[in-house]
Chain A
Amino acid sequence: MNATVPTLGYADLRGLMDLQLGDEKHAPSATSTLDVIWVLYDRILRIDPGRVDDPDRDRFLLSKGHGPMAYYAVLAAKGFIDVAALRTFGRYDSSLGHHPDRNLVPGIEISSGSLGHGLGIAVGVALGLRARRSRARVFCLVGDAELEEGSNHEAIAYAGRFGLEGLTCVVVDNRSASLGWPGGIASRFATEGWSTSTVDGRDHDAIQRALATDHARRPHAVVALVEQRS
């Protein structure tokens, strides 16, 4: 992050989320991702709201587009979008819908909402950055229930087998997958050759350590455990 950009802090995020009304049914989904997204933007990503087209910026792809209130709150806190825009959430002319659109908000990397799309795109972005010899990294956030979409497993298999080290997948696990994941989510990634970490999804230092883990010649999966969805 560019230190000169005035920003709000973690303590402000709940208030920023409360400005976004109309998608309360996805509030638990939004809340589940809050800490992971905050740590990414506050401590990990090499990005600058003043240079959202920098070809060598790190990329964050929110694949789980449901409940983007936390994402928008973090983007507002970090200077990517105006705080005032949060009050327009979901309105006809708003740039902030109940699912994000990259073409409406500079700094949002992908349009998402339908589950199972982001990780495949993230593989392509990581392959492209690797082909350009860029040091930029790609972080993709999915949900544990989102992993039920088979398209994710095409991406997991390919990225693992081809050692796509520029890619990190963060799985926010609130145990909402209908059939669960016998053997654990991390094992699904590990089987395909990924490096894996499992952390408390509310522990910022633990999340940071997991995201910063060395994973040379392998993609990395971080399973962030949060409260089970009620």
Chain B
Amino acid sequence: MNPMIPLFVAAPLAGAFLIMILGKFFKNLNKYIASLTLLFLIVFSILLLIETGKDILVYKIGGWEPVGGIPIGIYLVADGFNTIVLCIINFIGLLSVIYSISYISKYTSENYFYSLFCLMIAGMNGVVLSGDLFNIFVFLEISAIASYALVAYGVGIAELEATFKYQVLGGIASLLILLGISFIYWQAKTLNIADIRLSLRPEDNRSLYILVQLLLLTGFGLKAAITPFHSWLPDAHSSAPTPISAMLSGVLIKAAGIYVIMRLFFNMFIISEEIAILITCLGAISIITGSFLMIGQWDVKRLLAYSSISQIGYILMAAGICMILLFKGGKTEIAVLALAGGLFHMINHAAFKSLLFLTAGSIEYRTGTRDLREMGGLASAMPLTYSTSFIGSLSISGIPPFNGFFSKLIIIIAAIMGHFYLLALIAVIASIITLAAFLKYQRYAFHNKKSDAKVEKHDAPFPMAFSLIVLSIMCLLLSIIAIPHVRELLLTPAINVLMNPNLYTIPILGM
């Protein structure tokens, strides 16, 4: 019963309400409270990452012990997979808050921004740490409602239309998730994830099992922007203010979408062949859709938003390959390789997608436009933004020695070794198309000189530059995870707890 675990939810909540109270009396205090809270959370998440390398930590809220072997009460569970996602959330959150110190000064009423941001972080931490189904739903709603308000922050015409579309589709997704949870409760009479694995068997009622799996896949797939549920993502992520775009695209679609899908389908449901093939096909179609729709865009942030769809497809396809190989039995080394590639790509995508969005925001801050046909010749005027966005473009296209190359290579090797030649071909073609689109972005934004007038150096202010430099250093450093020793140290606890569900259920059910 580690006392650090509930502080991940309580500390950002306290920070959010404290910002609202103190922000009315002292004008400048809101930024410092937000950054201090997130700094505090990062230190705790790194400590937790080191501690869960050996075993799983379970926290029972209120101290309610199981009665007769049945877990009652709310459980918070921290294992190897959770703590990686926690580190991603809090780290990218801290860098976004530091970036927004100078970016949000162009808008009014900054109190609401920092307070809603801390609420969104509290909700995401709760989704990741929760050990039973209904709490996932409640915390998912907290972070979703905070993000609806943040997308509409600067109340212009485009933001309001984007947030209306996002809200209606997100509301339908939450209702489908609630319907799936109520069907599970009807059959199994319990809500704990570890307990549902033992009590919900497909032999009792086969059609109900398939119905529940499809409902939860649809609901969480809408939150994770998988094709065919991706239509809200380009509008919402391009119209939001830039630090919120970086948070939404880099963290929220992973913590509230892909993380929950992997947790439920590996640890709660018994793997069946049709669902595994369905997940792999959805991942492959997302890769194709995202990359083909990305090339023709002239708006910078819309281009980056469409490429998010394609990269999330990579992660889902890797998870699907691992499930198919686990179901057929036998070659577990290839399944471990595929899942390691998927998790590594999740960490990498958070880093380079946030970097790309923040550099696009820095361009918008100085030139006031987002259209590629109106920019040009910025390479000499903004050298720091030019070099960091060049590093980001190389990372996402998969050029060594940056981190995108290694994670895509691991996924493609795992697909070829498992005899999925078509999927490997799709992954390679999408990578080439991504390279083409990002070369277009670099040429039109930075190299295309329109006039011969002298452009003076007018680069990003210090808080924005700090976030850009730290993220580009992380893009280089994260390629260390490809070395087998470091990969085993970091990713093996996560892979173990996902592939052997007994490692997850036995410590929770009070043995």
Partners in one complex: no
Residues of A within 8 A of B (CB): none
Q: Please list the residues of chain B having a beta carbon within 8 angstroms of any beta carbon in chain A.
A: none
